[in-house]
Amino acid sequence: MKLKKQVTVCGGAIFCVAVFSLYLMLDKVQHDPASRQNGGGNFPRSQISVLQNRIEQLEQLLEENHQIISHIKDSVLELTDTGAVPPSGQLPFRSANGSWVLPFDGHPTFLSVKPQDCQFAQGRRGHTDLQMLDIYSLLKFDNVDGGVWKQGFEITYEPGAWDNEPLQVFVVPHSHNDPGWIKTFDKYYTDQTQHIFNNMLVKLTEDPRRKFIWSEISFFAKWWESADMHKQEAMRKLILGGQLEMVTGGWVMTDEANVHYFAMIDQLIEGHQWLEKNVGVTPQSGWAVDPFGHSATMAYLLKRANLTSMLIQRVHYSIKKHFASSRSLEFMWRQSWDQESGTDIFCHMMPFYSYDVPHTCGPDPKICCQFDFKRLPGGRVNCPWKVPPRAVVEANVAERAHLLLDQYRKKSKLFRSKVVLIPLGDDFRYDKALEWDQQYLNYQRLFDYMNSHSEMHVQAQFGTLTDYFTAVYKANGVPQGVRPPEYPVLSGDFFAYADREDHYWSGYYTSRPFYKSMDRVLESHLRGAEILFSLAVAHARHAGMEGRYPTSDYTLLTDARRTVALFQHHDAITGTAKENVVIDYGNRLLRSLQGLKRVIINAAHFLVMKNKDVYRFYQTEPFLETDDGRATQDSLPQRTLIELDQSGPRYLVLFNPVEQDRLCVVTVLVNSVRVRVLTEDGQTLPVQLSAQWSSASQMSAEGFQVCASFMVRLPALGLAVFHLYDSADTPMTLRSETLLRLTGQGQTAHAVDPLPLRSQTADPQLFYISTQSLTLGFSGTTGLLESIHRKDDPQEVKVQIQFVTYGTRSSKDKSGAYLFLPDGKAKPYSQKEPPVVRVVEGPLFSEVVAMYQHFQQTIRIHNVPGVDGLSLDVTTMVDIREQSNKELAMRLVTDIQNDDTFYTDLNGFQVRPQRTLYT
């Protein structure tokens, strides 16, 4: 085969030389006067005309054969596969085995695959005392009744345990304010949060012994903007004086499961920069009482933000019990890859069920509830244990103090120091001036009594979170943030969370996936807009044109950063907020997305102009259009149609927001099948045309819309301009080959000329799509993935995609936004009619689309080098709006022998091992 191709190429080359020699000879005869004057060189004019016509025909024939010769030459190049990528102007072609082959240019690709890429995740782990994977395998995750501490055990102590070293008690008042949950962010602020700040200003000032902590900077910044200078200064004085501590300092108390590390960092930066600019403080301690499980990524980020200590609360009750029994509730949290201690941060895990007052003073909620003085008789909140609080007066202060101290002592026995932390608060507490008086006055009477009776061996006071951690470090004789002697080191994370029984809070991983996706879209636009805006402003300053560039776009960036930050709240991206709140979040996301697109358009407009002297900014007439748009906050994005005509080119500007050159396939929507794409230097790119579809088996004929895909190489952090023409067909324009696999039950395929479309009756045999790197096998019955075969791997891997459904149990507690409570094992998804399966094959990409009643899945592979060429692009569009109490899940079944260990992503920050605990 190889010799045959070489002979063919050589023959073609000889043919070309002979023809061109004839052309040059005839051309010389026609235009050389001396030759015509010689007798032997005179031709009749009629013969010259005939020869000229034949030569023109020959030139045309040579042009048509040029591409054929290129194909033949490229066939030889295929045999010496270099793994490079196609240069502009060279055609893809079909190899002997039917797969598309791309010519190569030898340049390095974006994100090439290297053997060492995965070695880091599998590398040697640093030594830790507590490895969460090992602990998960040890625990039974049962729910044994522990007495008054239902999820724990009975705590006892020796009365003289504090004779030599008194117990230090830090009662930390707090109010957990969700930036959207039952009410919207603005509604919460108007109804409750603003009153908390106003009361805080008055009540903390009344007594310097009073302390408070605050977490959500989004709310604090909103109050600050409406406060006058005197209130701002008074609040600043409370913070700088240590009475009010800003803990964590993030824009929100972020979710830690669904969020990407980019947004986790961004919301932290937004809050910290705001505090530094307006108050002049930097947070020292982290406070996370309500995220539904805790990620090691957050510990890492807090450490890198120079926090020295942190607190977590929502951890599986079996883990809390296990840690409490070994007094390991305080530990140094270390990242799994850390061989030393550079990532260590001191962490306190709250031991009991909740962060409310009944579950924070000690193990017995019936007693602790009696010391939540907001629940005094006559109020709107009472104690479920039917024993109400009593105001502390001289007649009962001794009995009340001893009863409360007993709880403090029992709680302290779960920790290694004689310092105990007692949070005092709940959701949206302290919004009434009355509660400030109820809590602070009654507790101060208790503190005064305890502190004045030395035989009780206790020192109790209000404190901030950092006050508590400082006392722990001091008691252990170590500097701030340093590991106390004998305290354990832990690595791992705390997912999945269950607060009771088998109520695993894993439902929120997938709740409202539309908005989870929209969040990621906004994050990517934000990063791109920040880069382009920075580049444009730098160029404008360098050119002395800063006054002409719209630097006011920075406010759009700020708004978008705060919208992204707000949506990381643990009731936003999780999907656990009420419907009206979700709509409010959606409108904020859409508004910010539109603003970012304006920033991107303005920056790209300025940067692509070679002659910036003619630059003009028009607010109402943007120079560019964006690639897609959304009509409403809950609508899917619609591609922008690029309308081509004969008048001239349309210009396409592409931006690469990563710091490496990038090779990728770009798809645009055009109104013509006669598409030609040129680079800035005039080279024609191969284009793959494929249809838009109005239904499962009918191509869209509306305005004749076609998807044009082409491969581009984009510079790092750079822009590239491409020219799109409506021109006659060229050999560089290739149409996708589409096959519809139908059931034969009255279904017909409807094509739109000139896009080719074939149909056949579906059969149960496997069918395949291939690129230079991958071959995918699909079920002939379901149209879903069955296998993956890499070109450089002799073994085919079974990777079977299945769709299954879960019902929910019939008891009171059902699956929902928070919980996943199935009624049993998953059942295979089924529908009456077999699916319609569409198979699209082309030089740049191939895909299989399986269309079912409740979902449509597209699996696409790209014919490009590097990671993109070894990756599957899986898109599943789901519509189960008419379903009730049903969960639709996608399952992967493989023949990989992993011994129940798999690797999963953690916030886009690292890959971590995980073990299957149950099925």
pLDDT, one tens digit per residue, over 358-390 is 999 999 999 999 999 999 999 999 999 999 999
End-to-end Cα, the chain, rounded Å = 53
Percentage of the residues of the chain whose pLDDT score is greater than 90: 70
Asked whether the beta carbons of 246 and 239 are under 8 A apart, the reply is yes
In DSSP terms, 709 is beta-bridged to 667, 688
153 within some domain: no
Kindly report the length of the chain: 919
Active-site annotation holder among 74, 266, 290, 426: 290
d(CA 168, CA 716): 57
Assign 616 a pLDDT band (cuts: 50, 70, 90): confident
207 within some domain: yes
Instruction: Judge whether residue 696 has pLDDT over 90.
Output: no
The DSSP symbol for 547 reads: T
Residues 617 and 746 in one domain: no
Instruction: Judge whether residue 107 has pLDDT over 70.
Output: no
Asked whether the beta carbons of 391 and 376 are under 8 A apart, the reply is yes
Question: How many H-runs (helices) and E-runs (strands) does the chain carry?
Answer: 20, 38
Asked whether the beta carbons of 192 and 428 are under 8 A apart, the reply is yes
Instruction: Judge whether residue 112 has pLDDT over 90.
Output: no
pLDDT on residue 63: 53
pLDDT, one tens digit per residue, over 46-77 is 444 555 565 555 555 555 554 444 443 333 33
Instruction: Judge whether residue 548 has pLDDT over 70.
Output: yes
d(CA 58, CA 64): 10
d(CA 361, CA 347): 19
User: What's 240-272 look like in SS3?
Assistant: HCCCEEECCCCCCCECCCCCCHHHHHHHHHHHH
Which tokens is 71 given?
């194909």
Residues 646 and 594 in one domain: no
209-219 burial, b if ≥16 CB within 10 A, otherwise e? ebbbbbbbbbb
pLDDT, one tens digit per residue, over 597-614 is 999 999 999 999 988 888
Instruction: Judge whether residue 236 has pLDDT over 90.
Output: yes
User: Residue 290 catalytic?
Assistant: yes
Asked whether the beta carbons of 462 and 171 are under 8 A apart, the reply is yes
Residues 631 and 761 in one domain: no
Assign 35 a pLDDT band (cuts: 50, 70, 90): very low
CATH code for the domain of 862 = 2.70.98.30
pLDDT, one tens digit per residue, over 549-584 is 999 999 999 999 999 999 999 999 999 999 999 999
Query: Which whole-number Å values give the CA distances from 283 to 245, 273, 479, 538, 836, in the listed order?
Result: 8, 11, 17, 32, 57
Assign 883 a pLDDT band (cuts: 50, 70, 90): confident
Helix (H) or strand (E) holding 170: strand 167-176
144 within some domain: no
* Domain end point (choices 440, 471, 501): 501
* Domain end point (choices 703, 735, 767): 735
Assign 705 a pLDDT band (cuts: 50, 70, 90): confident
CATH code for the domain of 707 = 2.60.40.1180
pLDDT on residue 121: 56
104-141 burial, b if ≥16 CB within 10 A, otherwise e? beeeebbbeeeeeeeeeeeeeebebebbbeebbeeeee
Which tokens is 241 given?
């004086």
Instruction: Judge whether residue 310 has pLDDT over 70.
Output: yes
Instruction: Judge whether residue 468 has pLDDT over 80.
Output: yes
135 within some domain: no
Q: Helix H segments across 543-578?
A: 554-567
Instruction: Judge whether residue 89 has pLDDT over 60.
Output: no
d(CA 796, CA 790): 7
Q: Whose structure tokens read 């992204």?
A: 564
Residues 410 and 476 in one domain: yes
For 718, counting Cβ atoms within 10 Å of its Cβ (0-12 exposed, 13-18 middle, 19+ buried), the class is middle
d(CA 554, CA 529): 10
d(CA 317, CA 426): 19
**pTM of the predicted protein model:** 0.88
Residues 576 and 618 in one domain: yes
496: cis peptide before it, omega within 30°? Answer: yes
Residues 696 and 567 in one domain: no
Report, in this order, helix, strand and coil percent for the chain, each rounded to 5: 35, 25, 40
Transcribe 896-913 into DSSP letters: ---TTEEEEEETTTEEEE
771 within some domain: yes
Residue type at position 506: S
Residues 330 and 427 in one domain: yes
Residues 350 and 494 in one domain: yes
pLDDT, one tens digit per residue, over 631-675 is 999 999 999 999 998 888 999 999 999 988 888 899 999 998 889
Residue type at position 503: H
In DSSP terms, 490 is beta-bridged to 130, 333
DSSP-based three-state secondary structure for 799: strand
Asked whether the beta carbons of 829 and 804 are under 8 A apart, the reply is yes
Transcribe 438-504 into DSSP letters: HHHHHHHHHHHHHHH-GGG-EEEEE--HHHHHHHHHHHHT--TTSPPTT--EEES-B-S-BSSTT-B
Q: Helix H segments across 796-876?
A: 866-869
Residues 665 and 765 in one domain: no
DSSP-based three-state secondary structure for 452: helix
> Sign of torsion, CA 39 40 44 49?
negative
DSSP-based three-state secondary structure for 48: helix
152 within some domain: no
Q: Helix H segments across 347-396?
A: 365-368
Residues 197 and 310 in one domain: yes
Provide the number of structural domains found in the chain.
5
303: left (phi over 0), alpha (psi -120 to 50) or beta: alpha
* Domain end point (choices 695, 717, 735): 735
Assign 122 a pLDDT band (cuts: 50, 70, 90): low
pLDDT, one tens digit per residue, over 397-437 is 999 999 999 999 999 999 999 999 999 999 999 999 999 99
DSSP-based three-state secondary structure for 101: strand
pLDDT on residue 72: 36
Instruction: Judge whether residue 702 has pLDDT over 90.
Output: no
Q: Which domain holds residue 424?
A: 166-501
**Mean pLDDT rounded to a whole number for the chain:** 88
Q: Helix H segments across 279-414?
A: 296-304, 317-325, 365-368, 397-412
761 within some domain: yes
Report, as an integer, the average pLDDT of 718-724. 95
Instruction: Give the other-Cβ count within 10 Å of 575's Cβ.
Output: 22
Instruction: Judge whether residue 82 has pLDDT over 60.
Output: no
pLDDT, one tens digit per residue, over 758-808 is 888 989 999 999 998 899 999 999 999 999 999 888 899 999 999 999 999
How many angstroms separate the most distant Cα atoms in the chain? 141
Asked whether the beta carbons of 16 and 62 are under 8 A apart, the reply is yes
Helix (H) or strand (E) holding 420: strand 419-427
Of residues 850 and 93, the one with the higher pLDDT is 850
CA angle at 272 for the pair 267 and 273, rounded to the nearest 5°:
100
Of residues 315 and 736, the one with the higher pLDDT is 315
Residues 747 and 864 in one domain: yes
CATH code for the domain of 211 = 3.20.110.10
Residues 621 and 658 in one domain: no
CATH code for the domain of 610 = 1.20.1270.50
85 within some domain: no
Instruction: Judge whether residue 467 has pLDDT over 60.
Output: yes
Assign 170 a pLDDT band (cuts: 50, 70, 90): very high
d(CA 331, CA 347): 5
Q: Using alpha carbons, select from 620, 619, 578, 624 the residue that is nearest to residue 605.
A: 624
Q: Using alpha carbons, select from 421, 442, 445, 449 the residue that is nearest to residue 371.
A: 442
- According to DSSP, the β-strands at 212-214 and 244-246 are parallel
